Structure 1
Amino acid sequence: MNTAALASRAGRLLDGTVTAVRPLTGGDISDAHRIDLADGRTVFAKTLADAPPRFFAAEAAGLALLRGTGTVAVPDVLATGGPDDPGIILLEWLEPAAPDRAQAERLGRDLAALHHTPAARYGTDGPLFLGRVPQTGSAAPGDTPGDWAMFHVEHRLLPLLRQAADLGRVAPADARAVERLCNRIGEIAGPPQPPAVIHGDLWSGNVQWSPDGRPRLIDPAAQGGHPETDLALLDLFGCPHLDALLAAYAETRPVPGRAARVPLHQLQHLLVHAVLFGGPYGRESGAAARAALAAA
């Protein structure tokens, strides 16, 4: 979208006059811009051409879910385009800051509190996306805690594996490794875990370090899920001061045996990356499945 069109669109949604639109770098899926308004407001805008229906509405709902727990900090949602204009979301502008150990420790404590928040079920009733890939399905309320494993296989791992295989982005040997993991997930998943509210896409790029000392979480795929998924994703592409974050988390929410289950909880996102980007992610999906099987 050109800047003039974005300025017009944002001005209409915000009921203001846009004075500047500046493109930003860093997003793999959406285009990002800083928008300045005549009344002094600064806004962060994300747009996506040909966005799926309710694409950014799902992000707004996820931010609202996280905010409603009262545990983690997230940006305010100022506007979305609505059903007829799903390709835009306007958010509170967050000034960037360098990560530091104190913020990492704060985030560890905040995440522990988030993960103590029960969810009604695994998954969500509304739309949910990882990148542009829809994540569907929710478990019935009242399902037993041990059902996370089968929910994860039925609604996350196997659908993603089929998509990656159909696109030719995972080799047969790697696909067979993922299938073996799915068949044995009951042995690998660890202790029963009731559905808890999780961010759902918490790689390090979705942590916004802040000048006020409290990190914000952005771009969620918030849902009822397994807390170890958030922790494993922070480790997937490297998170600054992860050791301090995990130590602070464990002070209030220790998770014995978690390290052995990290590959299991990274597998879903590796498969999403295989679907979206191909490249080495099919091989890495197979490697994660084999590592999870070996740890069992």
Structure 2
Amino acid sequence: MTSDFVKHRAGAPAGFFSAESAGLRWLAEPGVVPVVEVLDQGEDWLSLERFEETGPSAAAAVEFGRRLAALHDAGAPGFGWSPSASAFFGPLDAPFEVSAKSGSSFAEFWAVRRLHPLLSSLAGELTEDEEAVIASAVDTIGEGGFDGICGHGAEEPARVHGDLWAGNLMWTADGVTLIDPAAHGGHRLEDLALLALFGTAHLGEIFSGYEQAHPLPEGWREDLPAHSFFALLAHVRLFGRGFLGQTMSAARAITARGRALRG
């Protein structure tokens, strides 16, 4: 660490930096994975530790996978529960607020509180056929087939980072360090799906380390589109139709996977 790093945005939504601060502290609480330390904060800024990056390595990836499994296993009070009164998703310059309320199941949280509102926000941006394909996938998730993994019994709420793409991993001398969370109680596959969505260095080693610490049913990767679907829809909302092709492919995969899980 050489100095602090200050994130600043004039006119940030009320509670935005408080939510990030609370999320970082909540992820650090179990003491199982390095998380950037919050030094100070204000209404439109956040002061964080600054780290020197060392670059990815296979050994660090395996260890991060083990630690991520332990973080998830630390649990959460409920699906959708947030460590702050308000919750957000998206980049610093264009975040949008999401529900911070707990749902009774993953299906309720993901389909009702996250995906349906996001789909509604895209009204007028999609054709009727596009909306129908996406809505079918959301409804499939809402049926509860993804509450477990590969159709097995429902998962307990996990302590998830919530925006775990490669850009929110810092490869440091202390191991992979987490930054910029959208932390909440969720499904453990949410974080694994986002690691896979846009590519992460040594992804196979991360998954291997994870399964060493918390074995997963065979075929679990086929469930991942359902758990990255919110992030894909959010990219359509934030960045436009350039992400729609990938989103439509995921929607069709979700619907097909749902049929397979129902037998």
Q: What are the equivalent positions in structure 2 for 1:132-151 lying under 5 Å apart?
A: 132-139=95-102, 143=104, 147-151=105-109
Partners of 1:284 and 1:262 in 2: CA distance:
13
Partners of 1:171 and 1:43 in 2: CA distance:
47
Deviation at 1:93, TM superposition (A): 0.6
Q: What are the equivalent positions in structure 2 for 1:120-131 lying under 5 Å apart?
A: 120-125=77-82, 126-131=85-90
User: Which consecutive residues of structure 2, in runs of 5 or more, have no partner in the other structure?
Assistant: 259-263
Deviation at 1:47, TM superposition (A): 1.3
Which residue matches 1:64? 25
Query: Higher RCO, 1 or 2 (CA under 8 Å, sep at least 6)?
Result: 2
Which residue matches 2:160? 198
Moved more, 123-132 or 180-189: 180-189
Q: Does the alignment pair 1:89 with 2:50?
A: no
Letter in structure 2 aligned against 1:160:
L
Candidates 152, 165, 182, aligned match of 2:123 = 165
User: Which consecutive residues of structure 1, in runs of 5 or more, have no partner in the other structure?
Assistant: 1-39
Partners of 1:188 and 1:214 in 2: CA distance:
35
Deviation at 1:162, TM superposition (A): 1.0
Rg larger in structure: 1
Q: Does the alignment pair 1:233 with 2:233?
A: no
Candidates 77, 81, 100, aligned match of 2:57 = 100
Q: 1:65 to 1:159 in 2, by over 3 A?
A: same
1:229-274: CA deviation from partner (whole Å, max 9, x where unpaired):
0000001110000001101110121221311111111110011111
Q: Does the alignment pair 1:153 with 2:153?
A: no
Letter in structure 1 aligned against 2:227:
H
The ranges of structure 1 where at least 4 consecutive aligned residues each deviate by more than 4 angstroms after the TM superposition are none
Letter in structure 2 aligned against 1:114:
L
Q: Does the alignment pair 1:109 with 2:70?
A: no
TM-score (norm 1): 0.79
8 Å CA contact 2:189–2:227 kept in 1: the answer is yes
**Could you say what the CA RMSD is over the residues aligned between the two structures, in angstroms?**
1.7
8 Å CA contact 1:165–1:171 kept in 2: the answer is no
Deviation at 1:213, TM superposition (A): 4.3
Q: 1:268 to 1:154 in 2, by over 3 A?
A: same
SS for the counterpart of 2:123 is helix
Partners of 2:127 and 2:30 in 1: CA distance:
41
Partners of 2:112 and 2:144 in 1: CA distance:
16
8 Å CA contact 2:54–2:171 kept in 1: the answer is yes
Candidates 138, 163, 185, aligned match of 1:182 = 138
8 Å CA contact 2:107–2:144 kept in 1: the answer is no
1:189-227: CA deviation from partner (whole Å, max 9, x where unpaired):
1331111110011001000000x2411000001110000
**How many pairs were matched up?**
245
Candidates 209, 216, 235, aligned match of 1:248 = 209
Using the aligned pairs only, state the percent identity.
38
Which residue matches 1:267? 229
8 Å CA contact 2:2–2:51 kept in 1: the answer is no
Deviation at 1:41, TM superposition (A): 6.0
Which residue matches 2:261? none
Moved more, 278-287 or 194-203: 278-287
